[in-house]
Structure 1
């Protein structure tokens, strides 16, 4: 929570900081709105993948993946499973994890959150930056501990903890026994865990090799969780990869360490059996976790995506909520061929007020930069190596540095998620003649982004739209359009990016009333995971850069 309270140092030789007066995000949802007693999916719109959930009394806590963004692993709280408030980030100090120069889709993968005997646990994997680990906290808002590393789980991902019959276990995706028989051949393993030393011990036991139908060569069994009900232990896991063939499967056993029997009706959740040309599709559903309510209802959180065309989506993998039905001792989420509903009845829990920062539906949020720190939903690319930001006198100051968006480093860039297919981000920025350039960015990763920035050309203020559409483009981007501005340095210029599915527009204004479009209908598919690859979603952010020698 303290990561945005620092004040950057500024020397006379450096470029003058860029000053942002405010930032506003607005998004509109297509389709019907939820009525009384209903809620809308997804419950966390935008880049919130791999949700894991735990319950403590009447309180629910949820955590999602953030990969190489910092701070990482956002922690949310709710009492009705519908309205969620981010209370902190579990990874908020450089001493915990170092993402170095990792690709933006490396770093922290699917976390598993749990609570036992007064302590919160998150089991997680830092891919290419240390392996599997556990962190703990007495308060889910933090601070969370430094990682306790789990070397016995090396080669695996997606760990989660199980507390049953006075014992603790950790399970995860790992390599199969022997040589893999095909690409994507993985296995689920379990091992004892000591909550005092935070170490694994004893033998590792194989629970599932390949998937529920090995003869079909199922790929990427992952995201495992175990819970008990009516004398059985249930193992749920994702299968099929996180794209359109994603699904959720279930097995059960009389012992926590198996052997596990697969459900004949698997998968219990998927959208891969629906027509591709359906209207307002939800795809790629899986990676589920279960939770109960005091009245005995069962619910699941899981990830899914909302493409605007084919498998193209810019908002990343989002968090959805659905009820779980039990039939003949087995859980079901969707029936074969059934669509995931976007409007459905609320859980049987007392409704709470919507959060101050909405996470679903049509909404507008505005940040005036007048607090002691930014809200916890803001993030940067990888760990900071120096302090290049500050909040002063109702402004966000960003120090321009010679670290570009394409440098696979930690540029002067602070961002929030794009959460709607139809969305806009707007800001007011001031720079002087000693500033390099600063403005507004729509970014998928280091190699794929757009920026609209204010800079100088021969002492004359300019406004420029730049694009990077792949690793072969310059790391500072290519100029798409540029023009001089009839304004003086230091006066505010308002910038806006508008998204409409695959089309993005870039506007500017000197008074906030009359807007000029510099680029219209730019190709937004470069901000999709289909084009850019990886596991993250698009973000809108504020940026400053100076590559000149001083």
Structure 2
């Protein structure tokens, strides 16, 4: 004889069931990304730029013994501050992320291009330091680690240090300083008028010395010409000179790198008469543009190199791969550093340093194909989430990745069930296999620049089968541009996006191997930095969301 529980008992029982068992889910069995461009093989005796293709901007570099470590901006993505290591400046591998836990920082509710700006990494006396800015999320801070792979400390915040792009300089005598971008003294004289300031830092406490602030650079190389956005400062003590290098001109086509020097930090910095030492603004049709935000490094053999950001545009100044990390040898002439002569293009092929392995694949070469079967216990370092470190909505088990929807859309400011991998090539193919979706759930592939500019190729269960749809989000306006029905709701489907510079094609392959294009060709320019704004590159992502009941 059947027994029925009273209503209150049913409610109580439901409350005791783990949330994960009652929430809708979507499961992915694999993800695959392949470059589809015809990147030439590096010429004999050379390696190729960019060394870190895709959204790896504002590189900073340091060295411990014969190992180099490099860090990039990560803005509002988590984990943040990706760290790379290399023994030869050519072959790089990711060592980890410096921002890897919720106690360090949170970016809840921020736009994608806020958060972490222009870090500096330095090594001194057994300890690694990263100083950076959490824009709209706390300001400037320092974190430390004995091993760049982590763990890294919680931040020491620097409330006295305003602005962005802080640099940590530790002099030969152990005294430490912070140079940074901030507002100029007095009222700005023009739009983009900024200044570089200096504080002394107590290295043992990581506290600034009170009343030690002083002005280093007002405006830029020549304030009478109204230079804009002097930023990204780095100081070096080389021989008898202190050198200050900065980005100038704004981080777009007018970007450049300039340098100053002085005999003493208490004396004014003198600008180099042949500035800038790096720019592509005089080459508007170049395949590489926007060069700047450089940092210098000396090898144990005494050679000098510079890492910097640059972009690879198409169709004018559109680029989807973001600001990428490049490297070039740095030479010296009459006591001044030189990265690239005026008017010369950034070389794609760079001569190999001596004694570098010639047959070992570089990070860029390995990046041409990425496949994830989700066999690990958690997503790998290639996968980025939005805003905070909470990943209760993702799990990996039994060679599958499961997303539990959090929001009804990626347009909202809250963190969504989204994991994205950088687009690293102008032409590419990316696919994911969706093996299961619950009712009231949509899941699929996203080509994502930010919440207001992206495409979503999704699938969902509907009354008469499975629906596959393509959604375009332009300036926050959502349009479903295509939709089709698949008969069988139980079978796996493969979703694919193919990018070729300014175009994107979306398609679906059913369980029988039949492939259909979903909608017309779409404009890749929609998810370019030029159209969407900000400072990041596009990501190819996996996403699950709630749908209407």
TM-score, normalised to structure 2, is: 0.93
1:496 aligned partner: 496
Q: Which residue of 1 aligns with 2:75?
A: 67
1:436 aligns with 2:445: no
Matched, 1:299 2:305: yes
Partners of 2:464 and 2:487 within 8 A in 1: no
- Aligned Cα root-mean-square deviation (Å): 1.8
Query: Which residue in 2 is equivalent to 1:163?
Result: 170
1:302 shift after superposition: 0.3
Aligned-partner Cα distance in 1 for 2:479–2:302? 57
Match of 2:57 among 16, 41, 49: 49
* Aligned equivalent of 1:5: none
CA contact (8 A) 2:442 2:547 kept: no
What are the superposed Cα offsets for residues 430-489 of structure 1, whole Å, 9 maximum, x if unpaired? Answer: 224425111111000000000111102225211111110112x1xxx3211111102232
Q: Are residues 1:346 and 2:352 paired?
A: yes
Aligned to 2:453: 448
Q: 2:31 is matched with which residue?
A: 23
2:525 aligned partner:
525
Secondary structure, counterpart of 2:213 in structure 1: strand
Q: What is the match of residue 402 of structure 1?
A: 407
Query: 2:319 aligned with 1:319, yes or no?
Result: no
Query: 1:367: which partner in 2?
Result: 372
Contact 1:29 1:361 in 2 (8 A): no
| Structure 2 counterparts to residues 6-405 of structure 1, below 5 A | 10-15=19-24, 17-154=25-162, 156-164=163-171, 165-202=173-210, 203-274=212-283, 276-278=284-286, 281-351=287-357, 354=360, 358-360=363-365, 363-385=368-390, 387-405=392-410
Matched pairs, number? 531
State the distance in 2 between where 1:237 and 1:432 align. 50
Query: Is contact 1:24–1:365 with CA below 8 Å preserved after alignment?
Result: yes
CA-CA distance at 1:513 after TM superposition: 4.7
Q: Is the 8 A contact 1:96 1:146 kept in 2?
A: yes
Secondary structure class of the residue paired with 1:519: coil
Distance 1:305 1:350 in 2: 26
Compared with structure 1, are the counterparts of its residues 343 and 72 closer, same or farther at alpha carbon in structure 2 (3 Å cutoff)? same
User: How many Å separate the matches in 2 of 1:189 and 1:38?
Assistant: 39
Number of the residue aligned with 1:4: none
Contact 2:36 2:429 in 1 (8 A): no
Give me the TM-score of the superposition, normalised by structure 1: 0.93
The answer to whether the Cα contact below 8 Å between 1:444 and 1:537 also exists between their aligned partners in 2 is yes
* SS across alignment from 1:227: strand
Deviation at 1:322, TM superposition (A): 0.6
Out of 429-438 and 375-384, give the one that drifted further. Answer: 429-438
* Aligned counterpart, 1:3: none
Q: Give the conservation status (yes or no) of the 8 Å contact 2:407–2:414.
A: no
- Superposed displacement of residue 94, structure 1: 1.3
Q: What's the CA shift for 1:516? A: 1.6
Corresponding residue number in structure 2 for 1:536: 536
SS of the residue corresponding to residue 506 of structure 1 reads strand
- In structure 2, the partner of 1:461 is 466
How far has the Cα of 1:349 moved from its partner? 4.8
Q: Is the 8 A contact 1:80 1:352 kept in 2?
A: no
Trace 1:500-511 onto structure 2 (pairs within 5 A).
Answer: 500-511=500-511
Higher mean C-alpha displacement, 311-320 vs 189-198:
189-198
Q: Distance in 1 between matches of 2:391 and 2:282?
A: 49
The alpha-carbon deviation at position 332 of structure 1 amounts to: 0.7
What is the Cα deviation at residue 353 of structure 1? 7.0
Deviations 1:275-300 (A, max 9, x none): x334xx10000000001112221110
Cα distance in 2, alignment partners of residues 487 and 111 from structure 1: 50
Contact 1:504 1:520 in 2 (8 A): no
For the 8 Å contact 2:180–2:198, the answer to whether it is kept is yes
Q: How much does 1:32 deviate?
A: 3.1
Q: Distance in 2 between matches of 1:444 and 1:31?
A: 24
Structure 1 gap ranges (5+) = 1-7
SS of structure 2 residue aligned to 1:109: strand
Larger radius of gyration: 2
Q: 1:11, 1:277 → 2: CA distance?
A: 53
Alpha-carbon distance change, 395 to 433 in structure 1, aligned in 2, over 3 angstroms: closer
CA apart distance, 1:179: 1.2
- Describe the shift of the 1:33–1:12 C-alpha distance in structure 2 as closer, same or farther (beyond 3 A): closer
- Say if 1:285 and 1:374 are closer, same or farther in 2 by CA, change over 3 A: same
1:425 Cα deviation (Å)? 1.0
How far does the alpha carbon of each residue in 1:315-373 deviate from its partner, in whole angstroms, 9 at most, with x for none? 10000011111111111111111100011201235338756x94347721101100122
Deviation at 1:86, TM superposition (A): 0.9
SS of equivalent residue, structure 1 residue 427: strand
What are structure 2's unaligned runs of at least 5 residues? 1-16
Q: Secondary structure, in 3 states, of the residue corresponding to 2:129?
A: strand
2:422–2:537 CA contact under 8 A, matched in 1: yes
Q: What per-residue deviation string (whole Å, max 9, x for no partner) do you get for residues 396-422 of structure 1?
A: 010123342111221100011000000
SS of the aligned residue for 2:519 comes to: strand
